[in-house]
Amino acid sequence: VNDNPSQYKISLSGTLKSPKLNFDPPFLIMMPVPLDVETEADINIIPQDYLRQSQIRVELPQIELEDGDRIYPFSVQFPGGQDIVLSSDGKNNQLICHISFRSSKPVSVLGNMCFIDEEEN
């Protein structure tokens, strides 16, 4: 500095954590119900290590019936919204996801729902 040829060396280190979602409960078993009767359950989505606001979307499983028809018997709602928000204490607020199932045809399903944020995580 000031025409002094001295060299300065700065070392930096850090840890980058990828954002992730945890679920409570980690899996869901819905009760069998008669045709055209809805069954429902709530799960808590616990975001971790999100540094900025993001929004969750859900890919629901499509079911192929014995007659070849395809249906989407599941639906989801987020009563408090789908936004992952960083609270004032630096933690991410939990989200509640309300999951419903209804089918007018007999079906048994074992499938995955994919929860995705704005950055495709």
Does residue 68 form part of some domain? yes
Does residue 75 form part of some domain? yes
- Amino acid identity, residue 73? P
List the domain range (segments joined by +) for residue 102. Answer: 35-116
Q: DSSP state, 88?
A: T
Does residue 23 form part of some domain? no
- Amino acid identity, residue 13? S
Does residue 101 form part of some domain? yes
Does residue 27 form part of some domain? no
- Between CA 62 and CA 69 the distance in angstroms is 10
Quote the number of domains for the chain: 1
DSSP annotation string for 89-104: TSPBPPEEEEEEE--S
pLDDT tens string for the chain (121 positions)?
Answer: 566 666 777 888 888 778 889 999 998 888 899 999 999 999 999 998 888 889 999 999 999 888 888 999 999 999 999 999 887 787 888 999 999 999 998 888 888 899 998 888 8
In this prediction the pTM is: 0.78
